[in-house]
Structure 1
Amino acid sequence: MSAQVRPNFRLSRPPNYAEPGDKAAAAAAVPPALLEATTICGTESYVKDRIDAYREAGVTHLQIVPVPQDGESEASVVGRLKDLVD
C-alpha cells in the first residue's frame, strides 16, 4: 500500500491585499504610477497638461469614460473635454 501524497498549498496574500469591502485599503493598494500611466483624472488644468503631453508624444486618439459629478451630464463632461483639446 502506497502512502497518499497530499498537496500542501498555502494561500498567501500580497502585502497590499485589501479585504473585500475595504475601499480605503483597496485605493491605497493602487500604486500612483499605475494611475498616472493609465488615467487622466484631475483638475481641468491637469487634464489639459496630460492631453498636451500625449499629443506631443504622437497620440491621436484617446478613449474616454466621462464621469459626471454634482448634477453634470455625461454630455457636459464630454463637451468640457472637447473644449480642452480644441
Structure 2
Amino acid sequence: MELRVIDKTDEELRIEVAGEDHTFMNVIKGALLETEGVAAATYDVNPEQSGGQTEPILSIKTEDGVDPLDALGDASRHVQSTVDEFSAAFEAAT
C-alpha cells in the first residue's frame, strides 16, 4: 500500500491509497465516519469521475479544529484494534 497526499487543508484531505480496492476503502471510510470530529468521508475509484485516476482517492472533511490527518490516524488505530479483537475471539473459538 502506498499513500500520496493530493490536497490538504486545515479541515480537508484527499489522499491516494494505491493498491487497495472497495473492501479496504469501505472499512476505512466506515471507521472515519465513526471518528469524532469527522464531518464527511468518502472515496472514489471511478476513473471517469476522478480525471483518469485508477487508484482509490479517499476524501475527508473534518470539523473546525480537527486535523484530517489526525482523524485518519485515529480511524486507522480503530480498525487495527477491531481486527486484533476479532483475531483474539477467533483464536479463542477454535
**If the length of structure 2 is used for normalisation, what is the TM-score?**
0.28
Higher relative helix content: 1
Higher relative strand content: 2
Q: Using CA pairs below 8 Å that are at least 6 residues apart, which structure has the higher relative contact order?
A: 2
Q: Give the structure with higher Rg (CA).
A: 1
